[in-house]
Structure 1
Amino acid sequence: MAGVFTALRLRRNNSSFSSSSSPSSLIHSSPNAYASSGVLFLLTLLSLSLAAFAFFLQWRGGLPDLRCPGPVLSSSEPQGILGRSRKLSFPYYRDWKIKFGSSDLLPKICITTSTSAGLDQTLPWIFYHKVMGITTFFMFVEGKAASPHVSNVLESIPGVTVIYRTKELEEQQANSRIWNETWIRDLLYKPCNYELFVKQTLNMEMAIVMAREAGMDWIFHLDTDELVHPAGSGPFSVQQLLSILPAEVDTIVFSNYESSVERDDIKEPFSEVSLFKKNRDHIEVEAYSKHYQETCHGTSTFFLTYANGKSAARIQDHLRPNGAHRWQNYMKSLTEVKFDEAVVLHYTYSKFSDLTSRHARCGCKPTKEDVKRCFFLEFDRDAFIIASTATEEEMRYWYNEHVVWKDEETKHKLLKGGIFTRIYSPMVIIKHLRESGVFSSVIAEAWANKNNNASRHGGFWETYSRKFGRLFGSHLTSGK
């Protein structure tokens, strides 16, 4: 509009200048002035008419919502924190098109996980990693994740295979070679975290078979509170990161960064947490020593939980898990390298409920001695005792003292010192996935189709049972 008004001002000034020159020039310019005024009047009338017509159609419901087209869920259907039902649209990335589950991505990457989490955690986790170029997910589910409300949705997502913890699964895993391995012997037949660790290892062993059958090139093991952050790749893609590795590299380690929450009322960690504590591998030695006590935040360790990162392995003969964080091979030593920038973001104890629900996850006694046989890590032991013995008010005080970072001066100092870092990309990606209605649309479609189709993975054991039988049958002898 500024350009229009400028043109009008120039026209008006020129007319004034000409009229003061001579009467003859004034008489000569009058027809052009009338013609210009008529054209402007007609253009203005046309614009107003079109605007009125558009308003009428919009009021009658004749125009679609061009900002974000797609169906909207009725109020009786589930939405919650997973957002509105809209088709995929990224208003700040107009030309960014995502191929979810595209088969032409190379290398082909999969993730295996063992989870009991609900849709509020698993859907953002799956689709974030799809954006990162990971197409296939082998999800071993139990608890809430195995409930029909959750599992029906998970099974409806292309590239997701859901495996339930059934009696048949346990019978197959009872024949695994892993039970005779010396490297895991000290963890066997123990409760709580030890039991989970062994279960994850057995699931990883099965996932290797499934990944090979699916034609995968690489496999990750991640929990559903962890996101791969492919910093250092131009396209911000896990697929791009792995594609540049030399062929002789068998496994790649991603250092982990740990979430540092700034409030005690976080509901959606992936969308609300941007502050992370760096891994020691990425901190200068002098800075680490200088800020160590302050960074421990009243605990006995630098990180609340694990600090040895996670890794991805190239699918190959004789590949096996080496616990939940690493991979190994029965027949050779693997060539392992580590990324300098790409990391795994671990959102640990990021919600207050992660503390309050801790006591329900284990049957151990809440004593200093008994928790040692149930948990690897000191902080997990302390958290279990607090969750089992304290009031909610006491738990919240303890949570704020040891987990939440509220002091701005301290945060600024640790950011400046290279201990903390801000990472926003997962927040941005998941925010746009949610606002575009990806999560709620998946739920709506799964509900609409649940009565029309049998489970896509109903034939799981028919497909894999023989393969697992051959695998485990050949592993009954003692290993290295």
Structure 2
Amino acid sequence: MESFIRYHLAIGIAHIYIFFDDPEDPAAQIALRFSDVTAIPNDEALQVQQALGNILYAKYGPHVGYEVMARQILNVETAIQLALDQGMDWIIHIDGDELFYLGEALTLDWFDQLDNDILQVRFLNYEAAPEKFEIEDYFREVTLFKRNPAVLDPDFYAKFQSTSGKSQYFLAYQNGKSAARVYPSILPNSVHSFDIPEEHTLVTSSPTVLHYLNCGFQNYYKKYAQLGNFPDYWWRSKSNLIRVPFHLRSRDAYCSGDINQMVALYQELTLYDNPMINQSLVEKGILTPISYPSQLLAKGSARLN
């Protein structure tokens, strides 16, 4: 949590709104130490506020008790109102295991250079390739990433499989995350984007969103222990099947009660612990080292010490 906050403030983010799904989450105490962070617990006050004041509550309110995406979408709507009140120009919605990566040569002035008719920018995401079995602070420790399939040659997957021996590349989403200009009628339409027409949306791979998915076995295990035996479909609708094989296999491995199944699955698909294979994948342009966030956080720690 502290690394997430310090990194984004260091790159120039003006204010961070963090919604804590567990109102008793001790990490909220970390967020409260920063004047440029608003910590918002998912407590009765927030629930009443959203029920009475959120336009999207009629659509998503019935699902908040069991679907985290419903809560996220309503939280984004709430954050938009807070951003409006504070005079913010842009808002981006990312999760607690993600960083907004400008690149070492860019600053947030990048947004000022966009044409006025661009109301939304969709940033392609890169997915972490953890090189160690156990990881504590992935923002500081992970520096290797899988490039988004959209920026790779069509034949990359065959090269990836033959080199890595892995049967899957990205293990979660690959359609990116979006930022939007802040104006009174803007609303999210998913956890990935805002309700803005395609002709007013720019898609780019630089900047990007770095997704530190399942970095460290204990983090991976805790995630699926918390999720438990969830159904095969989103929104409790059989028409919305979950088409993320790794997500379902991880659930089944956890529910088996055999931790060795989770270890084997983690080692098979998540872990990239062979330096020679990793170097070959880097040379093929499939993996890419990105050390700037780690270095930036290390510099911040040095100043604090």
**Is 1:250–1:334's contact at 8 Å kept on the other side of the alignment?**
no
Instruction: Give the aligned length.
Output: 298
What is the correspondence of 1:45-124 to structure 2 with a 5 Å cutoff? 122-124=1-3
Q: In structure 2, do the counterparts of structure 1 residues 150 and 404 end up closer, same or farther at CA, with 3 Å as the change threshold? A: closer
Kindly report the root-mean-square deviation, in angstroms, between the aligned alpha carbons of the 2 structures. Answer: 2.6
Q: Deviation per CA, 1:14-35, whole angstroms, max 9, x where unpaired?
A: xxxxxxxxxxxxxxxxxxxxxx
Q: Aligned to 1:211, which of 80, 83, 106?
A: 83
**Paired AA for residue 303 in structure 1:** F
Q: In structure 2, do the counterparts of structure 1 residues 341 and 390 end up closer, same or farther at CA, with 3 Å as the change threshold? A: same
Partner of 2:55: 177
Partner of 1:163: 40
| Structure with more helix by fraction | 1
Give the structure-1-normalised TM-score: 0.57
CA distance, structure 2, for counterparts of residue 395 and residue 327 of structure 1: 35
Q: In structure 2, do the counterparts of structure 1 residues 297 and 342 end up closer, same or farther at CA, with 3 Å as the change threshold? A: farther
Query: Counterpart of 1:242 in 2: which secondary structure?
Result: helix
Deviation, structure 1 residue 389? 1.7
**Paired AA for residue 8 in structure 2:** H
Deviation, structure 1 residue 363? 4.5
Q: In structure 2, do the counterparts of structure 1 residues 333 and 391 end up closer, same or farther at CA, with 3 Å as the change threshold? A: closer
**Is 2:8–2:100's contact at 8 Å kept on the other side of the alignment?**
yes
Partner of 2:27: 150
Bigger Cα displacement from structure 2, 200-209 vs 399-408: 399-408
Deviation, structure 1 residue 419? 0.7
Q: Aligned to 2:97, which of 204, 207, 225?
A: 225
Deviation, structure 1 residue 138? 1.1
CA distance, structure 1, for counterparts of residue 137 and residue 282 of structure 2: 23
**Is 2:64–2:71's contact at 8 Å kept on the other side of the alignment?**
no
Q: In structure 2, do the counterparts of structure 1 residues 156 and 272 end up closer, same or farther at CA, with 3 Å as the change threshold? A: closer
Structure 2 unaligned spans of 5+: none
Percent identity over the alignment? 26
Structure 1 unaligned spans of 5+: 1-121, 439-480
Give the structure-2-normalised TM-score: 0.88
Q: Deviation per CA, 1:69-122, whole angstroms, max 9, x where unpaired?
A: xxxxxxxxxxxxxxxxxxxxxxxxxxxxxxxxxxxxxxxxxxxxxxxxxxxxx1
**Is 1:260–1:404's contact at 8 Å kept on the other side of the alignment?**
yes
Q: In structure 2, do the counterparts of structure 1 residues 257 and 170 end up closer, same or farther at CA, with 3 Å as the change threshold? A: same
Partner of 1:456: none
When Rg is computed on C-alpha atoms for both structures, the one with the higher figure is 1
Q: In structure 2, do the counterparts of structure 1 residues 292 and 251 end up closer, same or farther at CA, with 3 Å as the change threshold? A: same
CA distance, structure 2, for counterparts of residue 303 and residue 432 of structure 1: 31
Deviation, structure 1 residue 156? 2.7
Deviation, structure 1 residue 224? 1.4
Partner of 1:350: 215
Partner of 2:291: 424
Alignment of 1:337 onto 2:202 = yes
Q: Aligned to 2:161, which of 279, 284, 293?
A: 293
Partner of 1:71: none
Deviation, structure 1 residue 358? 3.1
Q: In structure 2, do the counterparts of structure 1 residues 384 and 363 end up closer, same or farther at CA, with 3 Å as the change threshold? A: closer
Alignment of 1:385 onto 2:257 = no
Q: Aligned to 2:120, which of 245, 248, 251?
A: 251
- Please identify runs of 4+ aligned residues in structure 1 that moved more than 6 A: none
